[in-house]
């Protein structure tokens, strides 16, 4: 029959197993949720935040004078985007390579399919607005001739525009800024990268916490029997809570390369699944971040959009002259150089938007996104293991101490609870 003292000793491994499981389960939750900061805001304390230790400043919400919590991953979304580009995406492909995967000739063909009628309406609208008298009195056959001339010139013009964008894409598109903007606006994307890629590993962390905690509880039970000091259980709980988190996270990423010890192969859980993880990661990047729609939006509305518009307009202005053919000089004389240049500039400026129509076509975009996925997945599968591990881990590495501290605090609390129940 068990004595009270024996029951106390036998329950120690059970408690430490529970410590390990709860620590790792809650640690996973803290990584990802809540997506947005939840807590109290103390704006008056914000100026004092700079006086706090750097580690304390890293706690989500503190730098904004908040007392609460936000998931570590979404709170670091902007930084994670920056690191993802520096450590991963920039090594996988340059802006030029991404653009080439979109097949500029197919973009040009799609522009022609979508914009031919729109360009006709654009010509009519601008001519009516800029020089209504001339356009109204112009014979119908003359207008049709102009439209026919535009139709003849349009394919070459469009292909020239897509070629020009490709040649200057490094100056027009900043992949790093694009990724940071997208992930910052949708921090749940940062969560998806890890949840979709690492669902098996995250489940392993939780279950492994119980097993390791249970095993560490056995020697702790013998120690408390040999040295019956009340403070041993809380201190042991601190160590076990800290160690279970530390070991579980290390097992996911380390060792980076396979190592054989005593006939057994040890390899980081993420690392051994690199091809599978690469496909999931590449899918998220290609379908949600570096998509053809987002590339088009950044070209037209991003921080360098003025360069894109200037480049396209400069390609379109001579094309307008070509569309008029020999009549361009006569038209310039008839309506005046100033008015002609105004019409030409308006046509070039407003036609820019039509060059981006394929980027916003969902069906066309889905086909082209597959090409980006193919580029990313192929290169991620063959990345050096060290680079692959760094790409996945760097974004959260400096915040891992919060999870270790969290485990230590829970372990300390569990030790006190065991003392309160069993003495």
Q: Report which DSSP code applies to 85.
A: I
Domain match, 179 and 281 both: yes
Residues 102 and 64 in one domain: no
| CA angle 411–417–421, rounded 5-degree value | 145
Would the pLDDT of 351 be above 70?
no
Residue 134 pLDDT more than 70? no
Q: Which of 305, 328, 361 is the last residue of a domain?
A: 361
Statement to judge: residues 65 and 102 lie in one domain: no
Structural domain containing residue 302: 96-183+277-361
Amino acid 182: pLDDT: 83
Q: How far apart are CA 373 and CA 312, in angstroms?
A: 28
From residue 288, alpha-carbon distances to 25, 189, 338, 392, 403 in Å are 28, 8, 46, 18, 29
Domain assignment present for residue 176? The answer is yes
- Decide if 22 is inside a domain: no
Q: Give the mean model confidence (pLDDT) for residues 174-194.
A: 81
The Cα–Cα gap between 144 and 152 comes to 12
- The residue among 345, 361, 377 that closes a domain is 361
In a domain, 353, yes or no: yes
Q: Out of 320, 338, 361, pick the residue that ends a domain.
A: 361
What whole-number distance in Å separates Cα of residue 320 and Cα of residue 146?
10
> Could you write out the DSSP letters of every residue in 339-359?
HHHHHHHHHHHHHGGGGGGGG
Which pLDDT score, from 0 to 100, does residue 328 have? 47
Asked whether residue 58 falls in the same domain as residue 110, the answer is no
Give the up-direction half-sphere exposure of residue 32: CA atoms within 13 A in the CB hemisphere. 17
If asked whether residues 104 and 57 sit together in one domain, one would say: no
Same structural domain for residues 296 and 337?
yes
Residues 176, 40 share a domain: no
pTM for this entry: 0.70
Same domain for 293 and 353, yes or no, is yes
Residue 376 lies in a domain: no
Q: What value, to the nearest 5°, has the Cα angle with vertex 266 and ends 264 and 272? A: 125
- Report the sign of the C-alpha dihedral through residues 236, 237, 242, 248, in that order: positive
What pLDDT sits at residue 330? 45
Check whether 333 has a pLDDT greater than 50: no
**Angle at which helices 385-397 and 77-84 pack, to 10 degrees?**
160
| 327 pLDDT above the threshold of 70 | no
Count of domains observed in the chain: 2
User: Is 121 contained in some domain?
Assistant: yes
User: Is 21 within the bounds of a domain?
Assistant: no
Residue 216 lies in a domain: no
Strand 259-261 relative to strand 264-266, pairing: antiparallel
Residues 303, 198: Cα–Cα separation, whole Å: 34
Is residue 172 assigned to a domain? yes
Higher pLDDT, 72 or 153: 72
- Contact present, 83 and 76 (Cβ < 8 Å): no
Q: Give pLDDT, residue 319.
A: 57
Split at pLDDT 50, 70, 90, the class of 358 is low
307 and 347, same domain (yes or no) = yes
Residue 343: its pLDDT value, please? 58
| pLDDT band for position 2 (cuts 50, 70, 90) | low
Average pLDDT, the chain: 76
DSSP β-bridge partners for residue 69: 38
Task: Kindly report the length of the chain.
Answer: 423
């Amino acid at each position: 029959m068990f004595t009270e003292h024996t029951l106390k000793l036998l329950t120690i491994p059970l408690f430490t197993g529970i410590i390990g499981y709860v620590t790792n389960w809650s640690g996973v939750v803290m990584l990802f949720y809540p997506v947005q900061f939840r807590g109290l805001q103390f704006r008056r304390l914000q100026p004092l935040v700079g006086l706090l230790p750097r580690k304390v400043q890293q706690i989500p919400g503190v730098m904004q004078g908040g007392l609460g919590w936000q998931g570590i991953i979404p709170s670091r979304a902007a930084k994670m985007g920056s690191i993802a580009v520096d450590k991963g995406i920039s090594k996988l492909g340059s802006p030029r390579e991404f653009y080439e995967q979109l097949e500029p000739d197919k973009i040009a063909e799609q522009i022609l399919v979508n914009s031919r009628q729109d360009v006709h309406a654009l010509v009519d609208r601008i001519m009516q607005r800029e020089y209504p008298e001339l356009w109204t009195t112009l014979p119908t056959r003359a207008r049709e001739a102009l439209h026919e001339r535009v139709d003849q010139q349009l394919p070459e013009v469009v292909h020239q525009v897509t070629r020009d964008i490709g040649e200057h894409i490094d100056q027009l598109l900043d992949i790093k800024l694009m990724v940071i903007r997208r992930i910052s606006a949708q921090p749940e994307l940062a969560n998806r990268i890890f949840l979709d890629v690492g669902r098996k590993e995250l489940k392993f962390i939780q279950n492994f916490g119980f097993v390791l905690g249970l095993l560490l509880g056995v020697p702790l039970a013998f120690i408390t029997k040999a040295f019956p000091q009340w403070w041993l259980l809380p201190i042991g709980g601190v160590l076990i809570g800290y160690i279970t988190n530390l070991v579980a996270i290390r097992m996911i990423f380390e060792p980076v390369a396979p190592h054989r010890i005593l006939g057994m192969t040890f390899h980081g859980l993420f690392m051994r699944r690199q091809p599978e993880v690469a496909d999931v990661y590449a899918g998220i990047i290609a379908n949600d971040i570096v998509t053809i729609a987002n590339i088009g939006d950044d070209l037209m509305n991003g921080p360098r959009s003025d360069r894109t518009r200037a480049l396209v307009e400069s390609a379109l202005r001579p094309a307008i002259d070509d569309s008029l053919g020999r009549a361009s000089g006569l038209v310039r004389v008839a309506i005046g150089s100033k008015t002609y240049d105004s019409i030409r500039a308006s046509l070039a400026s407003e036609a820019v938007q039509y060059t981006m129509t394929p980027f916003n076509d969902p069906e066309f975009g889905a086909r082209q996104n597959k090409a980006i996925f193919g580029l990313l997945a192929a290169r991620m599968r063959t990345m050096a293991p060290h680079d692959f591990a760094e790409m996945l881990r760097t974004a959260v590495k400096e915040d891992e101490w919060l999870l270790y501290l969290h485990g230590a605090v829970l372990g300390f609390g569990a030790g006190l609870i065991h003392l309160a129940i069993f003495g």
